[in-house]
Structure 1
C-alpha cells in the first residue's frame, strides 16, 4: 500500500475503515486495514449481519474491499475487532467515495513524483506530515487547490514539483463545491470525552456527509463544510455549531469559535 494513503496512529473505536478481506473461517474473517499499513483486524461472524449467516463468504469474500466499523481497539496488543453489520449503506457509500478520492490523489502525486524525479521522503516531509500535523487530509487540501486556492505556506515542496502538482490538481480534480472552515474550542468538565464525541457526531449529522469534524489538538477541533455555494456552506456551518452547542449545554461545558466565521480571527 502506498505511504500516501496511510493514516497516522491506531484505529479508534467507532471509526469507519476500509478493509480488504484476507481470510475467512467458520466463525469469522481476518481483514487488513488499508489505511493503517495493512494492520490486521478480526470480524466475528456475529458482527457480519443481523440475519443468520450460513456462509460468511456470501458477505466477505477474500480479496474484496469493504467498509467496517471498529468496535474494539487495543494499540498495546495491536488488536482490532471490527463489524460489518453496524455500518449503514450511507456510511458504506460515503466512506468508499472518500477512499476513491484519496486513491485518485495518491496516484496523481505518485505520477508527479515520477515526472520530476522527486523522492517519496521529500513529499512525506514537505506535504504529508505537515498536513497530518494540522489535522488535514491531503486529498481535501488538493481539492481546494483545484478550486482555485493556493498551496498553504506550510507546504514545503521543490518548486517544480509544487508547480506541476498544482497544474495537475486543477486539471484532474474538478469539484464544484465551496469549502468553509472554522476552528472551535470544545470542553466538557463533567461529560468528558463521551460528551465531546456526541457533540461532534451531532455537528456531522448536518447535511449528507458534507460536514467533517477533526481533532487538531485538544481542546481545538476543525469543522470543515463542503457545499455547492458559499451561502449554503456558511449556513450548514452555523447549523453544525448550533447542534454541537445543544449537546454542550450543561455545567462545565463550553464551545467557542476561535477561527473562522464568528470567531476570534
Structure 2
C-alpha cells in the first residue's frame, strides 16, 4: 500500500497519528506515522492548563492523535497540537487508523499469496476499493460477509478478488447485532394454525437478505418472537419491520389478525 504517505504533506487541521520521539524543556519531537515525517509539539499545545512537568502529560514512545497547525515543506517543518484535539476526534481517528492497519495487513497477506509486492497490489485495487466503499477495510469486510461477487462487481480482477475474499473470510471476525420483536397472530378459521404458519414463512422468506438471519420462536400462541441478526442496527431493524409487516398483511388476507411490538433494545 503502503499506508505511509512519505511523498505527501499533511494539511492544516488534519488529524494524524504520531509517536513521541524526544521530550525537551519546550515540547516534544514526534514522528507522523502515516507520513514518515517529523514534527514538533510545543509545550503550549500539549494542554490548555499550566504544565509543571511535560512528562506528566506525554512520554517517549507514546502514540498521540495530534492536529496539524502549520506546515512548511521548504523548511521541512510541521507544528502540531494535542490540546486542540477533542475526545471524539481522538476516538474516530484511532478507529480509522486501526482499520487502515488491519487493511494493510490483509493486503500484505494477499500480495504474498499472489506473488506481487504490497505496492503493486495497492495500485491494482486500492483506488477501486476506496472509491466503492468508505475505506479499504469496509470493502474487505463486505467480501467476508457477501462473498467474492462484492469485489467482482466493483471491478476487482477475479484472481485478486478470490484471494482477498479467501483471506478476509479467514481473518475478519464480522460484527453482528440482534433485534427482537413480538408478533401476535390469530386466525379462528379451522385451518388457522396452517394460515399462521404460512404467514410466518412468507414473512421470513421475503425479508431475508444476504448476511442476515431471521429466527421465529413460538412463545405461547398467539405470541411469536422474531429475532433478526444483521451487520448493524439500521439493517436489522429494517428487516424486523419487513417481517412484521409482511406477516400481518398476509394473515389479514387469510382471514386472521395481527399486531406487533418491538422488544427493548436498539
* Residues 174-229 of structure 1, C-alpha deviations (whole Å, 9 max, x = no match): 2449xxxxxxxxxxxxxxxxxxxxxxxxxxxxxxxxxxxxxxxxxxxxxxxx9632
**For the structure 1 residues 135 and 81, does the alpha-carbon distance in structure 2 shift closer, same or farther, using more than 3 Å as the test?**
farther
2:174 aligned with 1:169, yes or no? no
Match of 1:151 in 2: 151
Shift of 1:4: 2.5
2:71 aligned with 1:66, yes or no? no
Is the Cα contact below 8 Å between 2:143 and 2:168 reproduced in 1? Answer: yes
Aligned length, in residue pairs: 181
Q: Secondary structure at the match of 1:4?
A: coil
Is the Cα contact below 8 Å between 2:66 and 2:85 reproduced in 1? Answer: yes
Is the Cα contact below 8 Å between 1:48 and 1:85 reproduced in 2? Answer: yes
Match of 1:105 in 2: 103
2:129 aligned with 1:124, yes or no? no
Which ranges in structure 1 are unaligned for 5 or more consecutive residues?
A: 178-225, 234-265
1:229 corresponds to which of 230, 234, 239: 234
Match of 1:205 in 2: none
Q: Secondary structure at the match of 1:68?
A: strand
Match of 1:30 in 2: 29
Shift of 1:23: 1.2
Match of 2:13 in 1: 14
Distance 2:160 2:60 in 1: 38
Between 96-105 and 120-129, report the one with greater CA deviation.
Answer: 120-129
Shift of 1:136: 5.8
Match of 1:87 in 2: 85
The RMSD of aligned alpha carbons is 3.0
| TM-score (ref. length: structure 2) | 0.58
Match of 1:46 in 2: 44
**For the structure 1 residues 20 and 155, does the alpha-carbon distance in structure 2 shift closer, same or farther, using more than 3 Å as the test?**
farther
Which ranges in structure 2 are unaligned for 5 or more consecutive residues?
A: 178-230, 239-266
Shift of 1:58: 2.3
Shift of 1:104: 1.5
Shift of 1:42: 0.9
Distance 1:160 1:71 in 2: 44
| TM-score (ref. length: structure 1) | 0.58
Distance 2:153 2:109 in 1: 23
